[in-house]
Amino acid sequence: MGCFVTAFLAMTDGVVPPDPEGDVMVSIHRFLAVLLVSLPLLATSPARADDAPDPFIGLASQNFDIVANAVSALAVSGNPQAGATIAAIEADNLYVDAADDGAPKILIKQGDAYIDARTGQKAADINEDDVNSVRVNNAVRRAIEAAKGGMDLFAADATTRTKAAEKVFTSHDAAALPLLARAIAAEKDAKAKLVMEQAQAASLLTGDGGSDAERIAAVAILRARGDVESKSLLQSLHDQSKPVATAIDAATSSLARIEQLWSVLQSVFYGISLGSVLLLAAAGLAITFGVMGVINMAHGEMVMLGAYTTFMVQEVIRTHAPGLFAVSLFIAVPLAFLVSGVAGILIERCMIRFLYGRPLETLLATWGLSLILQQGVRSIFGSSNREVGTPEWMSGATQWGGLTITWNRLTIVIFAAIVIAALMAVMRGTSLGLRMRAVTQNRRMAAAMGIRTPWIDALTFGLGSGVAGMAGVALSQIDNVSPNLGQGYIIDSFMVVVFGGVGNLWGTVVSAMTLGIVNKFLEPFAGAVLGKIVVLIALILFIQRKPRGMFPLKGRAVEQ
Amino acid sequence: MSRLSTSICIGLILVGVALMAILNLATAAGAPFHVPTYAISLVGKYLSYAILALAVDLVWGYGGILSLGHAAFFALGGYAMGMYLLREIGPRGVYGNATLPDFMVFLNYKSLPWYWNGFNHPGFAMAMAVIVPALVALIFGYFAFRSRVSGVYLSIITQALTYALLLAFFRNDMGFGGNNGMTDFKDIFGLPLQADSTRVGLLVASALALCLCLLVARYVVTSRFGQVLIAVRDSESRTRFLGYRPESYKLFVFVLSAIMAGIGGALYVPQVGIINPGEFSPANSIEAVIWVAVGGRGTLVGAVLGAVLVNAGKTFFTGAFPEFWLFALGFLFILVTLLLPKGVLGLLQKKTGGRV
């Protein structure tokens, strides 16, 4: 038996590829192979004194191959000391005390003291002269490397065991089956056990073993797992017996349906995400255009101001307080609201108030203003894109079932929801909101009731602009911060507001989400640009049918 | 009043252009009164813009339709002309393909798309430069006016129209040259485009077209039809209650205006030498509106004046202070709307006591 192992090792040593990854792969294979041959070997080993095999004994050997096998055996033994011991060999801290005639003591050196590897207790009366270091060669090192992987299946921590099982699932090597069987038998944690069973099923199906019934059960396990990997694994299986093949076919087609469902859900998420961006861009406009009836073509520039405020905040943080970077956006949001809001109030006081009742002139004047703001920002910051960083907590993505959700998109969805909720609260719940609605519904009557309508106009416009500024903070995370940032959103924003129905915040929400989702569902068929064109044309046609949007205001306020 | 100013305007255009033509062709380069060829093309460009401005004034000044998508009709006319000019190149292109324009060879087209057929005939292309904008305006206007979309809503959907066309023409597989558009034209009607005489000819053609459009527009707005149109502008519902059908009036003037814009675009392309999707950008349409506002809305002549003034200013600013052009244009928008609601022409009329 031992000879066979040695020959096997020599054989595999010859084919070890030079690249490190391949090296580890081969080692894992070898580890598994060694396991197969060494388990019965250990079971019948004469060195064993009682029923419980002593996995440590081989470590004392002078033969590297025996040491390597001992490492592999130790790894799967489930012995609580296995991890520490293997780590000690790797760190050259494992020693053998050959003083006794009986089983040699295996010692872990810690500082100047020794610890008995079998018990984890401090070992007393060690004579330094009798202690020899356990030497390692490449074969042993590879065994250690592989053992650490397999050992994780028996690790104390359930998460580590699950991860190790996932790894076996991915490699789905038939050689891992006996190891998995042991691990499953020992497993207490339900989740880890499930993953191990899935790994076992994958390994079983890849190999030729198992009865039809076992294989069909394995197919069922993979079907229940239902992810892309299971599906591709099932699809890769050929030459199965008839009942198994039928089961596989049924499983793959059901998985394909599930995958389709996920991709629809993914499109919905992308759509909601795009809808939130549209909603943020349009929310301010829903106030200035929707509630006040002012066509503010400089609305996009209010968004741009918000984005540049974010940039400035991050610049200051970078130079003065780098530790605050993670919260830079939280600082930027109120500042952007203030900057754009004040800009909005100034615009209203200096320009728009002279143009009430002349919507087309307002449109032209605010367009002129947008040109000035763009060129102003270009003169100050340059025309190139400015770098706005994404905090750690917003980068990356998470997998939820078959959905990939990027944190920055999710954050924007949540942010949009908060902004809209706040806006509605202000419009409905505050005295300012009450006055705003009063002024828009009947200006003269509101004035007669003592409301200072000019102030309300200015504040309403400031509120709309400030919301646009907050949108700029969000957009700085997903778009280029350049002087042209706002221009890209102005037409879309108007479309959203008009589609939803002027003067109706809920309408704006529904319309932004509809447009976002429709856009994302059209994209796979029509491509991004054509999809957008189709949506635009559909909108133009829609406005023909319902000139006042999906949710038009009713009553006298309609006719101006 | 309007008759006198129209006559003055037409007279000035014709005399000025004739003078420029003579001074360019009859004097040698370097002579004291020589007009360089680039100036000929520049003025030609202004006059094509003036046609566009006239078209905008016709719908905005008299029909009350603020179209923020008129540059789309201009660009459609321009593209028709560009397609003809590309076909005219024939086998002299970089790739030497007799039927396929260079960009199609480059983009691996095997044969000419069907909608390019016929554009090798100048007459067909010229007709298309008018028919396509007219058709787009007819379809768009029919739906828009029938369902009584008006005011800012109409402005916004006209902007969406030109935006959609912008996106569409940017696509390479639309077969209109993608974002590079069309350029490197060689001949027009068999005459080399670079020759002085061709350039002068184009300028004269632009001047004549402008005068013709001016006369047609004046005829339309002073006719009985024009009176109703003005009534629609000032009070659409009242006009409807009087028994007129405002949508028909608006549709007619909208289509007529699109035709004029198409003519302007067709004249613009050979003089500028390029047409690309950028011409569809909503900003261009809005700029055309400001020319009208600067000159004086609802005066026709004012639109011509505004287009020439603003564009001359643009040429000056972008040459001398490129940083400041957008500031200048922006302030122009604001000042004109706030302080000069009747434009430059209104100012002139005040000074002259309403005689011009």
Whether residues A145 and A187 fall in one domain? no
Q: Where are the alpha helices (DSSP H) in A286-406?
A: 299-320, 328-350, 359-381
SS (H, E, C) B25-87: HCCCCCCCCCCCHHHHHHHHHHHHHHHHHHHHHHHHHHCCCCCCCHHHHHHHHHHHHHHHHHH
A311-367 pLDDT tens trace: 999 989 888 888 888 888 888 999 999 999 999 999 999 888 888 777 778 888 888
- Kindly state whether residue A404 falls inside one of the protein's structural domains: yes
C-alpha to C-alpha distance for B157 and B353, rounded to whole angstroms = 40
- At B252 the pLDDT is 94
Contact criterion met (CB < 8 Å) for A368 and B148: no
Q: Where are the alpha helices (DSSP H) in chain B?
A: 2-25, 37-57, 70-89, 102-106, 122-146, 151-170, 196-222, 224-234, 236-241, 246-272, 282-295, 301-320, 325-339, 343-351
Whether residues A131 and A166 fall in one domain? no
Give chain A positions within 8 Å (CB) of B160.
Answer: 491, 495, 536, 539-540
- Kindly state whether residue A447 falls inside one of the protein's structural domains: yes
Residue ranges of domains in chain B, CATH in brackets: 2-351 (1.10.3470)
Residue A374: closest C-alpha in chain B = B326
What is the band of B213 on the pLDDT scale with cuts at 50, 70, 90? very high
- At B1 the pLDDT is 47
Contact criterion met (CB < 8 Å) for B157 and A530: no
State mean pLDDT over B150-158. 81
Structure tokens at A104: 């040699």
Whether residues A345 and A479 fall in one domain? yes
Contact criterion met (CB < 8 Å) for B144 and A359: no
Q: Flag whether residue B11 sits within 8 Å of chain A, measured between CB atoms.
A: no
C-alpha to C-alpha distance for B289 and B185, rounded to whole angstroms = 30
State the burial class of residue B346 (Cβ atoms within 10 Å of its Cβ: 0-12, 13-18, 19+).
Answer: middle
pLDDT at A379 over 70: yes
Q: Flag whether residue B352 sits within 8 Å of chain A, measured between CB atoms.
A: no
Task: Please give the mean pLDDT across all residues of chain B.
Answer: 86
C-alpha to C-alpha distance for A40 and A44, rounded to whole angstroms = 6
- Kindly state whether residue A328 falls inside one of the protein's structural domains: yes
Contact call for residues B75 and B317 (beta carbons, < 8 A): no
Structure tokens at A537: 């044309």
Q: Flag whether residue B293 sits within 8 Å of chain A, measured between CB atoms.
A: yes
A442-454 pLDDT tens trace: 888 888 999 898 8
What is the band of A29 on the pLDDT scale with cuts at 50, 70, 90? low
C-alpha distance from B149 to closest chain A C-alpha (Å): 6
Residue A528: closest C-alpha in chain B = B167
- Kindly state whether residue A545 falls inside one of the protein's structural domains: no
- Kindly state whether residue A515 falls inside one of the protein's structural domains: no
Cα–Cα nearest to B329, from B315, B347, B339, B341: B315
Beta bridge partners of residue A94, listed in sequence order = A108
**Residues in chain A, overall count:** 560
Whether residues A212 and A76 fall in one domain? no
Whether residues A467 and A378 fall in one domain? yes
Angstrom CA distances, A59 to A50, A147, A359, B30, B168, stand at: 18, 14, 89, 102, 74
By Cβ distance, the residue of B68, B327, B333 closest to A365 is: B333
- At A7 the pLDDT is 41
Higher local confidence (pLDDT), B187 or A417:
A417
pLDDT at B122 over 90: no
C-alpha distance from A261 to closest chain B C-alpha (Å): 31
Whether residues A176 and A140 fall in one domain? no
* Last residue in a domain, options A154, A182, A215: A154
Residue bearing tokens 């086998």: B91
What is the band of B89 on the pLDDT scale with cuts at 50, 70, 90? confident
State mean pLDDT over A85-108. 77
Contact criterion met (CB < 8 Å) for B66 and A351: no
Task: Please give the mean pLDDT across all residues of chain A.
Answer: 78
Cα–Cα nearest to B151, from A293, A205, A170, A283: A293
Rounded to a whole number, what is the distance in angstroms from the first to the last CA of chain A?
98
Cα–Cα nearest to B88, from B64, B113, B116: B116
Q: Is this model's pTM higher than 0.80 or not? A: no
The residue of B159, B290, B333 whose CB has the most chain A CBs within 10 angstroms, and thus the best one to mutate to test that interface, is: B333
Query: Residue A287 gets which letter from DSSP?
Result: I
Helix (H) or strand (E) holding A109: strand A105-110
By Cβ distance, the residue of B170, B286, B338 closest to A367 is: B286
What is the band of A39 on the pLDDT scale with cuts at 50, 70, 90? very low
Residue B290: closest C-alpha in chain A = A364
AA identity, residue A46: P
C-alpha to C-alpha distance for A515 and A512, rounded to whole angstroms = 5
Contact criterion met (CB < 8 Å) for A539 and B160: yes
Whether residues A361 and A430 fall in one domain? yes
- At B137 the pLDDT is 94
Contact call for residues A155 and A83 (beta carbons, < 8 A): yes
Exposure pattern of A244-283 as b/e (b: 16+ CB <10 Å)? beebbeebbeebeebbeebeeebbbbbbbbbbbbbbbbbb
pLDDT at A27 over 60: no
Give the range of the structural domain holding residue A62, as residue numbers without chain letter: 2-154
CA dihedral angle for residue A150, residue A156, residue A159, residue A165, rounded to 10 degrees? 20
Structure tokens at A12: 């595999």
Give chain A positions within 8 Å (CB) of B147.
Answer: 543-545, 547
Helix axes A487-500, A505-526, angle to 10 degrees: 120
Contact criterion met (CB < 8 Å) for A536 and B334: no
C-alpha to C-alpha distance for A17 and B17, rounded to whole angstroms = 83
Give chain B positions within 8 Å (CB) of A295.
Answer: 152, 155
Cα–Cα nearest to A499, from B125, B157, B239: B157
Whether residues A110 and A172 fall in one domain? no
A191-248 pLDDT tens trace: 888 888 888 888 888 777 777 788 888 888 888 887 777 778 777 777 667 777 888 8
Q: Flag whether residue B281 sits within 8 Å of chain A, measured between CB atoms.
A: no
Neighbours of A106 (CB within 10 A): 28
Higher local confidence (pLDDT), A68 or B51:
B51
3-state SS, residue A52: coil
Contact call for residues A461 and A345 (beta carbons, < 8 A): yes
Whether residues A165 and A129 fall in one domain? no
Residue A529: closest C-alpha in chain B = B167
Give chain A positions within 8 Å (CB) of B159.
Answer: 491, 494
Neighbours of A541 (CB within 10 A): 12
- At A554 the pLDDT is 59
* Last residue in a domain, options A120, A154, A188: A154
C-alpha to C-alpha distance for B156 and B296, rounded to whole angstroms = 22
Contact call for residues A536 and B160 (beta carbons, < 8 A): yes
C-alpha to C-alpha distance for B285 and B283, rounded to whole angstroms = 5
Whether residues A298 and A172 fall in one domain? no
**Range name among A31-40, A392-401, B144-153 with the lowest pLDDT average:** A31-40
Angstrom CA distances, A467 to A271, A282, A400, A422, stand at: 22, 9, 31, 10
State mean pLDDT over A377-398. 83
Residue bearing tokens 């190790």: A164
Whether residues A296 and A428 fall in one domain? yes
By Cβ distance, the residue of B149, B329, B337 closest to A547 is: B149
- Kindly state whether residue A76 falls inside one of the protein's structural domains: yes
- At A344 the pLDDT is 93
C-alpha distance from A354 to closest chain B C-alpha (Å): 7
- Kindly state whether residue A403 falls inside one of the protein's structural domains: yes
pLDDT at B170 over 90: no
* Last residue in a domain, options A210, A240, A270: A240
The residue of B153, B159, B334 whose CB has the most chain A CBs within 10 angstroms, and thus the best one to mutate to test that interface, is: B334
By Cβ distance, the residue of B147, B148, B290 closest to A364 is: B290
C-alpha to C-alpha distance for B246 and B154, rounded to whole angstroms = 15
Whether residues A225 and A178 fall in one domain? yes
Q: What total of structural domains would you count in chain A?
A: 3
Helix (H) or strand (E) holding A122: none
What is the band of A135 on the pLDDT scale with cuts at 50, 70, 90? confident
Beta bridge partners of residue A355, listed in sequence order = none
By Cβ distance, the residue of B149, B168, B330 closest to A368 is: B330
Contact criterion met (CB < 8 Å) for B332 and A354: no
- Strands A403-406 and A397-400: what pairing? antiparallel
Give chain B positions within 8 Å (CB) of A364.
Answer: 286, 289-290, 293, 333, 336-337
Contact call for residues A456 and A514 (beta carbons, < 8 A): no
